[in-house]
Amino acid sequence: MPELPEVETVRRGLSELIIGKVLASATHDTPKSFPNSESDVKQFLVGARVTAIRRRAKVLMIDLSTNYSLVVHLKMTGQLVFVGRDTRFGAGHPNDSLVNTLPDTSTRVTLEFEDDSQLFFNDQRKFGWVRLMPTLEIPNLSFMQKVGPEPLEADFTPQQFAERFKRRARTNIKAAILDQSVIAGVGNIYADESLWGAKIHPQRLVETITPAEFEKLYTELRAVMNLSIEKGGSSNRNYVNAEGKKGSYMDFARVFRREGLPCPRCGTTIEKLRVAGRGTHICPYCQTL
DNA sequence: CACTTGACCTGTCCGC
DNA sequence: TGCGGACAGGTCAAGT
């Protein structure tokens, strides 16, 4: 999916678009995408007002006035796209947005508001889900119990960052940084980008990383994620924001999906390898074992 | 427990 | 063109 910057971009967009709106209905195609019963929808969603939109790691929470929340995980190809009443009834919308063609074959859940606007959950690969549950029970989800700290929080220090990796001392740094129980929200793009920034080879064993290297990795990770949020996230293929538009971080990526191109730092040709089961991009000169 | 691999799905791209 | 296989931004469950 969508990693932390993409989910945060969706959160900010949705906050502008749907807070205060009242839900009228929810429909879905498969229970895998939306497991709740009709009766749950009727009792806790229909007539409920959207009060807040929150994010933890890569999970979004749309809080409702019924003290229930729509919890959303976009996984690899999920999208949450808002279609306003005017667009829906034919007033049109810029051509660089998805909204003119929704719903489509990837639409899994359709939420309608009382003002006739809509929110679509699209997910080509069906890994993602939307789930209606009591707001107070969200922290009890097993994912929430084990997820690590938010890396962009102001009070998150380099010392805390390094400390979190001790639990994964004997694996490679790429597997560890992708582990959501170590640090929240890092996925394949920002793992590669930050490791390149810190000049750390992704297959280095965690126990061999020096304190100075951890500090550099902390700084680089925060920098690439903050830059990506500023650019509206990365749109490799499927990702779009709440208005159906792509983000531009990929224009600024330095190694991710740039195999065969020169390293922006030294000019050496960027290579692609497989680490922790994921496609991994490195500069073989800047990042060595 | 820590670590690795395969499974979950659909679509697209690349080589023959 | 057609077909098969690899691969895609993420987690889980199962295996060692």
Residue A215's CATH number: 1.10.8.50
State which of A88, A116, A146 marks the end of a domain.
Answer: A146
- CATH number of the domain within which A72 lies: 3.20.190.10
Q: How far apart are CA A256 and CA A197, in angstroms?
A: 12
Which of A87, A115, A146 is the last residue in one of the domains? A146
**Under 8 Å CB-to-CB from A194, ≥6 apart: which residues?**
A177, A186, A217, A220, A221, A223, A224
Same domain, A136 and A219: no
pLDDT at A14 over 70: yes
Is residue A151 in some structural domain? Answer: no
Rounded CA-CA distance A192/A236 in Å is 14
pTM > 0.75: yes or no: yes
> Binning pLDDT at 50, 70 and 90, where does residue A97 land?
confident
Q: Is the pLDDT of residue A93 over 90?
A: no
A259 is a domain residue: yes
CA–CA separation, A5 and A241 (whole Å): 11
- Which position among A11, A21, A58, A222 bears the catalytic label? A58
Strand partners, A22: A49
- C-alpha A197/C-alpha A13 separation (Å) is 29
A75 in contact with nucleic chain C (CB within 7 A)? yes
**pLDDT given for residue A92 in this prediction:** 74
Q: Which nucleotides of C are covered by protein (CB under 7 A)?
A: 7-12
What confidence category does residue A96 fall into, taking pLDDT thresholds of 50, 70 and 90? confident
Q: Which residues neighbour A286 within 8 Å (Cβ) at sequence distance 6 or greater?
A: A196, A199, A263, A265, A266, A268
Cβ within 7 A of any strand B atom: A 32, 105-106, 124-127, 167-172, 175, 206, 276-277
Nearest residue (Cα to C1') for C12?
A143
pLDDT in tens, A217-258: 999 999 999 999 999 999 988 999 999 999 999 999 999 999
Residue A1 clears pLDDT 70, i.e. is over it: no
End-to-end CA distance of chain A: 29
3-state helix, strand, coil in chain A (%, to 5): 35, 25, 45
Q: Which residue has the higher pLDDT, A71 or A96?
A: A71
Q: Which residues of A137-149 are buried (b: 16+ CB within 10 A; e: fewer)?
A: ebeeeeeeeebbb
Residues A121, A162, single domain; the answer is no
Q: What is the span of the domain harbouring residue A58?
A: 4-146
User: Of residues 97 to 156 in chain A, which lie within 7 A of strand C by their beta carbon?
Assistant: 125, 127, 142-143
* Residues A181, A81 share a domain: no
Nucleotide in closest CA–C1' contact with A5: C9
E runs forming strands in A129-266 = 129-134
| Catalytic residue list contains A2 | yes
Structural tokens at position A248: 């531009």
